[in-house]
Homo-oligomer: A and B are copies of this chain.
Amino acid sequence: MPVKNAMTADFLRSAYGGESMAHMRYLTWAEDAEKKEMPNIGRLFRAVSYAEQVHAFNHFRELGQQTGGATVTAGAEFGMGSVAENLQWAIDGEVHEVEQMYPVYFQVAQCQQESGAQRSFHYALEAEKIHVTMFKAAQDAAKAGKDLPTKDYYVCPVCGFTGEGHMEDQCPVCKVKKELFKVFSA
């Protein structure tokens, strides 16, 4: 069901803006990590960037008939520093989504009985929790002057769930089969 209520629609647009900018800065930081010979941190940024694309697509589609030009207000993080600094900004953005933004957006969608937006916000929230953990591990490595260990990352194209190493049989969040996962192989 496409969205009907103005407040939920505003939050979908805002979340779309935030996810689009996150997707973009992770691509920038991926390129930077690769240049600095940290290909595994670079690949993590690429995988997470794709997860944010999945979230952005979902929010965009849920907007349904709310078409045309709009002014979007959204949070973003900026900066091109060391790999560890870039990861700190990445963590700051993800923590904001996990602790503030998506819980609030989810509550509003629930109270406005917007089931499609609720699902879209829920999918994003679950993935961002994982992103926080992954970026913290990457930052620990970077602070020690090391790259992450070499491993595959995979992303669910339906909900943006992001995994590493051994692939589960189905997405733990949306239950899609692993054959559909997008793999970022080492």
Contact = CB atoms under 8 A, between A and B. Distances in A.
A23 B25 contact: no
A53 B24 contact: yes
A53 B79 contact: no
Stoichiometry, as copies per complex, reads 2
Contacts of A93: 69
A72 B13 contact: no
Interface stretch (A60-68, A110-118, A126-134, A144-152): A60-68
Given A67-B79, A69-B75, A71-B74, 11 more contacts: A13-B76, A16-B76, A17-B76, A20-B20, A23-B23, A23-B24, A28-B61, A66-B78, A68-B77, A72-B76, A74-B74
A56 interface: yes
Contact of A21 (B20, B89, B96): B20
Of listed A64, A71, A72, A73, residue having the most chain B CB within 10 A: A72
A75 B70 CA distance: 6
A168 interface: no
B75 A79 contact: no
A72 B21 contact: yes
A36 to B, nearest CB: 16
Interface in A37-72: 53, 56-57, 60-61, 63-64, 66-72
